[in-house]
Structure 1
Amino acid sequence: MSGRLLLAHDLGTSGNKATLFDMEGNLLGSKTVPYKTFYSNITWAEQDPQAWWDAVCSSTRAILGSHKAEDIGVVAFSGQMMGCLAVDEKGVPLKNHIIYSDQRAVKQTQSLVERIDAKRVFEITGHRASPSYAIEKLMWLRDNEPEVYKNTHKMLNAKDYINFKLTGRMVTEFNDASGTNALDLKKLAWSEEIIEAARVDISKFPDLIQSIGIVGEVTAQAAQATGLKKGTLVVAGAGDGGCATVGIGSVRPGITYNYIGSSSWISTTSTEVLQDAEMKNFTWAHPVPGYMQPCGTMQTAGSSYAWLKEQLGQWEIHEAAKKGINPYRLLDGQVEQSSVGANGVLFLPYLLGERSPRWNPDAKGAFIGLTLERTKADMFRAVLEGITMNLSLILDVMKAQVHIQEMRVLGGGPKGKQWRQILADVYDLPIIVPKYLEEATSMGAAVIGGVGAGLLDSFDRIESFIQFTDRVEPNRQHVERYRQIRPLFDEAYHALEPLFSKLQ
């Protein structure tokens, strides 16, 4: 068994989770160590990279408490994307990491699209120009912290910094690089056109390798800190969205999945960047070489449902506490009391503006169709239907160009049977549910590591990791009803759109 186990790390927003798998995909152990995010100035969000490293070291040591270091064949990371960590020539961070949700670079984004057309940015990178991305954050450092910018040797993302700490080598891979707004997706190279328009130094961008590329080996210093064996292979890994894509088995064209947590995204696999004239969605470089990963992300999916639970679900919360069950089980009962279409109630799920498909930071949530006859049950069902109809607009872009036969689901949202049926009916696709709804990211990192290290012969081995436990077929009558309702949902948004900015 020596050197045959796969150690995956998921370096997320709230903490690092170390997970150990064997070659058959059996979960052997998992340990999460939290860390903090520092918020300031309304739109700023940062993390201390030393806290990442401490979390990686302690979680690794916890995993190795019941296994031998020599059993670990490879280490690979999933990581939060679209951040900016400035490090000097020795790899020492010059300031905290500016994370993906930080929105300070609004002026820099405006400056970029003044120098290069916004559609040209999308054409090159597969993404809109946005303060969320790394190059705009680097521009902000240039304009506001010139000494930090001057001394920046490389701009790294979260997992790339930890890979450096393990191996001493500064690189990134194509999946994470496509979250910088600076990668030419077709050439898989840094875009000189965009970087020149941004007026930043291309030398500050790290070298590019594949997700399955070997970054290096664990150094003696890193081995002492983590408990890993010196010389253990470290594979580049991918961003969290890319790892989830591999972990749910979307490793061939058309295999599509929907993650539903506080936010939600739909992603698929294609052989090329999908055409999207309205720029509703965006595209990552896929961790599987040769493929692309089209994607669309909405802001408030599960968090819309959680918001209504807090506002109108106090009885369910109280009863669930008495019975020792999850309150969402009781809310499912409420949803079941309503009917398809929520008896004429529509919900616009825009409680934090919207990314895909609206791209409108001023968008607001709304209930439409309330009367004295409508009930709490109708409102709860309308929220689930509104979220799902919004996601279906993202799916439409993909369906027009990729043959999609079923929808795999992940995250906490699909635990409820009522929502699974709504998903099947609105999407008009079978919904496929894995046993582990929240382990796909770690599984994906493990498989990327296994393929990169030569321990797994192909990405198809992910199918032995996944166990599907439920399949929900569309109800044909419900499908037809939602086909009538969806245009009304879209019409409601466009009718209210002129009001949103006035409600600030």
Structure 2
Amino acid sequence: MSYILTLDVGTTSVKTCIFNEVFKLLGYSCSEYTLLTQGNNMVELDSEVYWETSKYGIKKAIEASSINAKDIGSITITSQGETLIPVDEFGKPLRNAIVWLDARAEEEAEFIRRGFSSKEIYETTGIPEISSACPVCKVLWIKDKEPEIYEKTYRFMLLEDLLIQKITGRFVTEKCLMSSTGYFDINQGVLWKKILSYAGINVDKFPEIMDCGKVVGKILPDVAENLCINSGLVVTTGAMDQAASAIGAGNIDIGVVTETTGTALVVAATVDVPDYSNTAMLNIMRHGIEGKFLILPYNQTSGIILKWFKDEFCWNEIEMCNLCGKSVYDCLDELAAGVSALSNGLLLLPHFAGMLTPEINPSVKGVFFGVGLDTKKPHFIRSILEGIAYMLKQNLDMLEDMGIEVKEIRSLGGGSKSGLWSQIKADVNNCNIQIMEQEESTSLGAAILGSMAMGIYNSFMEACMVVRVKKSFKPDNQITDAYSQGYEKYMKLYECLKSLF
């Protein structure tokens, strides 16, 4: 049997997984790193850290799996988008990686916005607004502020691209990962030369663009020797982490929607044709499946609000849980479960870092509305869970307004570990919330892409037959009516307050 190794390269860690051909997880490793933050909204990381951490993770996952490393047949990589690394002709990084969180290039973003209408940008790239996070702005920043680096740059690489080059020696990228760069035409699947020409950026400084889930080539002999793995191992393209996660949860066709409650709330819906007429201008990107697209409503703050509340106001619970070895989030769930639906009239507007959907409004702040002398800590905790469930419903309603049917909601991310939160989401949305058997859905999606590249499966439908639901939370008819009224109040709250932000 040939095994599939995957790398999920995130913001602060690399997760390495080893699956067999029926996608049973055999080995796992998670290795962390610390970002370099500076003034002027700069967020970087030594580019070699990604590679060194990946190599360490591969070795640890092999140890954990107890398999013969020579039996690993392929490696597939999925990564965050928008992190940019300029490299020379030998693949050597010329400076630190500019991480996706980096917002230094606002001047460059404003320059590009002056040259193109929002409509043209959106209908070409699927991005509702060019921001300083877009790689096109980061490339222009390097060109303007570090011209010696720009001149030496052979290729501007994204994170998955960098690691593929390290392993195979080839300079390639893939269409899904390119979708959030600002210089990729998601309709034609090619570089958007018009915007690059406007910015004075050489189109030859970008890698070859491949489809997702395709064979790139074999591992370099010295890399295979260093890792003590099969010298005939094949490396394949993956997909951006959001698309890989959708595939790993079986979100490969219309009707199945995934929601990821992590730091942010990200909803993903698969469509065959992108709809640029939606008034909310929702993010649209290439799926990891050729011929399909993902519509991605995105809200910047969800689970991080619960973490903020825990860190700022739950010191006693943290201390108690540290002493007894219990998860503090389980403790917060128990407190929230002790109060009834609607949190005694307390309502959260969960936009703590501005709003991207249903409209772009960076001035919006979070609001707890309806605080009284009888409001207790459990009410605040439950109102956070409810407020984010309302935000999810607002996103799903927007999808349905676009004609996208929502038959199933599959819940991913750290928030999916809370049974109470999943039940609240089911009650608010009056729809089943499904929790997946494989928690590492992003890595599983990468493994599915790898299996398709290797010809193990003939179709995504066949490969995704192994994707299984662990538990389904059904709406409680006695509570859905109450939450319907709560949602109406939630929708009115923003309309009443938005002129004050």
The alignment's TM-score, normalised by the length of structure 1, stands at 0.94
| Distance in 1 (alpha carbons) for counterparts of 2:393 and 2:477 | 17
State the SS of the aligned residue for 2:74.
strand
**Alpha-carbon deviations, 1:370-419, whole Å to 9, x = none?**
12222222211111111121222222222222111111111111222221
Between 1:300-309 and 1:368-377, the stretch displaced more is 368-377
| Distance in 2 (alpha carbons) for counterparts of 1:393 and 1:280 | 14
The Cα shift of 1:186 comes to 1.3
The Cα shift of 1:173 comes to 0.5
* Counterpart mapping for 1:173-212 below 5 A: 173-212=174-213
1:26 corresponds to which residue?
24
1:101 corresponds to which residue?
101
The Cα shift of 1:467 comes to 3.3
| Distance in 1 (alpha carbons) for counterparts of 2:314 and 2:438 | 27
* Counterpart mapping for 1:113-192 below 5 A: 113-127=113-127, 128-192=129-193
| Distance in 2 (alpha carbons) for counterparts of 1:361 and 1:89 | 40
**Alpha-carbon deviations, 1:232-278, whole Å to 9, x = none?**
11101111111111111111222111111122211121101134533
| Distance in 2 (alpha carbons) for counterparts of 1:104 and 1:417 | 40
Query: Residue 417 of structure 1 is aligned with which of 416, 419, 432?
Result: 419
* Counterpart mapping for 1:398-417 below 5 A: 398-400=399-401, 401-417=403-419
| Distance in 2 (alpha carbons) for counterparts of 1:380 and 1:63 | 37
* Structure 2 residue 11 is matched with structure 1 residue 13: yes
1:79 corresponds to which residue?
79
Query: How has the CA–CA distance of structure 1 residues 91 and 322 changed in structure 2, closer, same or farther, with 3 Å as cutoff?
Result: closer
The Cα shift of 1:364 comes to 1.2
Q: What is the percentage of aligned positions where both structures have the same residue?
A: 29
* Structure 2 residue 34 is matched with structure 1 residue 36: yes
* Structure 2 residue 112 is matched with structure 1 residue 112: yes
Query: How has the CA–CA distance of structure 1 residues 325 and 432 changed in structure 2, closer, same or farther, with 3 Å as cutoff?
Result: same
The Cα shift of 1:42 comes to 4.4
Query: Residue 54 of structure 1 is aligned with which of 29, 32, 52?
Result: 52
The Cα shift of 1:462 comes to 4.4
Residue type matched to 1:395 in 2?
A: L
2:362 corresponds to which residue?
361
| Distance in 1 (alpha carbons) for counterparts of 2:405 and 2:376 | 39
Residue type matched to 1:71 in 2?
A: D
The Cα shift of 1:151 comes to 1.6
CA contact (8 A) 2:73 2:230 kept: no
Between 1:301-310 and 1:98-107, the stretch displaced more is 301-310
**Alpha-carbon deviations, 1:271-322, whole Å to 9, x = none?**
0113453344201100011110111221121110111223332333233233
State the SS of the aligned residue for 1:244.
helix
**Alpha-carbon deviations, 1:351-386, whole Å to 9, x = none?**
223333343332211111112222222211111111
Residue type matched to 2:76 in 1?
A: A
Residue type matched to 1:300 in 2?
A: T
CA contact (8 A) 2:83 2:159 kept: yes
| Distance in 1 (alpha carbons) for counterparts of 2:408 and 2:235 | 34
The Cα shift of 1:176 comes to 0.2
| Distance in 2 (alpha carbons) for counterparts of 1:75 and 1:231 | 11
1:245 corresponds to which residue?
246
Residue type matched to 2:28 in 1?
A: S
**Alpha-carbon deviations, 1:169-197, whole Å to 9, x = none?**
11110110102012111111111222223
Residue type matched to 2:208 in 1?
A: D
Query: Residue 64 of structure 1 is aligned with which of 62, 65, 69?
Result: 62
Query: How has the CA–CA distance of structure 1 residues 353 and 210 changed in structure 2, closer, same or farther, with 3 Å as cutoff?
Result: same
Between 1:209-218 and 1:456-465, the stretch displaced more is 456-465
1:431 corresponds to which residue?
433
State the SS of the aligned residue for 2:270.
coil
The alignment's TM-score, normalised by the length of structure 2, stands at 0.95
State the SS of the aligned residue for 1:350.
coil
| Distance in 1 (alpha carbons) for counterparts of 2:6 and 2:426 | 32
CA contact (8 A) 2:261 2:413 kept: yes
| Distance in 1 (alpha carbons) for counterparts of 2:40 and 2:488 | 36
The Cα shift of 1:209 comes to 0.7
Residue type matched to 2:429 in 1?
A: Y
| Distance in 2 (alpha carbons) for counterparts of 1:49 and 1:440 | 26
Between 1:219-228 and 1:109-118, the stretch displaced more is 219-228
| Distance in 2 (alpha carbons) for counterparts of 1:252 and 1:136 | 33
Residue type matched to 2:293 in 1?
A: M
| Distance in 2 (alpha carbons) for counterparts of 1:499 and 1:479 | 31
CA contact (8 A) 2:122 2:281 kept: no
1:327 corresponds to which residue?
328
* Counterpart mapping for 1:275-424 below 5 A: 275-400=276-401, 401-424=403-426
State the SS of the aligned residue for 1:371.
coil
Residue type matched to 1:23 in 2?
A: E
The Cα shift of 1:225 comes to 2.7
Give ranges in structure 1 of 5+ residues lacking alignment. Answer: none
Query: How has the CA–CA distance of structure 1 residues 227 and 274 changed in structure 2, closer, same or farther, with 3 Å as cutoff?
Result: farther
| Distance in 1 (alpha carbons) for counterparts of 2:375 and 2:236 | 55
Q: What is the aligned-residue RMSD (CA, Å)?
A: 1.8
| Distance in 2 (alpha carbons) for counterparts of 1:486 and 1:199 | 48
| Distance in 2 (alpha carbons) for counterparts of 1:317 and 1:143 | 48
| Distance in 2 (alpha carbons) for counterparts of 1:226 and 1:136 | 36
| Distance in 1 (alpha carbons) for counterparts of 2:167 and 2:329 | 42
CA contact (8 A) 1:18 1:30 kept: yes
Residue type matched to 1:414 in 2?
A: S
CA contact (8 A) 2:27 2:62 kept: no
State the SS of the aligned residue for 2:34.
coil
2:89 corresponds to which residue?
89
CA contact (8 A) 2:271 2:295 kept: yes
| Distance in 2 (alpha carbons) for counterparts of 1:329 and 1:69 | 38
State the SS of the aligned residue for 1:237.
coil
Query: How has the CA–CA distance of structure 1 residues 115 and 90 changed in structure 2, closer, same or farther, with 3 Å as cutoff?
Result: same
State the SS of the aligned residue for 2:260.
strand
State the SS of the aligned residue for 1:46.
strand
Residue type matched to 2:67 in 1?
A: H
Length, aligned pairs only: 497
Give ranges in structure 2 of 5+ residues lacking alignment. Answer: none
State the SS of the aligned residue for 2:237.
strand
The Cα shift of 1:198 comes to 2.9
| Distance in 1 (alpha carbons) for counterparts of 2:346 and 2:37 | 37
| Distance in 1 (alpha carbons) for counterparts of 2:61 and 2:380 | 45
| Distance in 2 (alpha carbons) for counterparts of 1:358 and 1:344 | 26
Residue type matched to 2:38 in 1?
A: S
Query: How has the CA–CA distance of structure 1 residues 279 and 89 changed in structure 2, closer, same or farther, with 3 Å as cutoff?
Result: farther
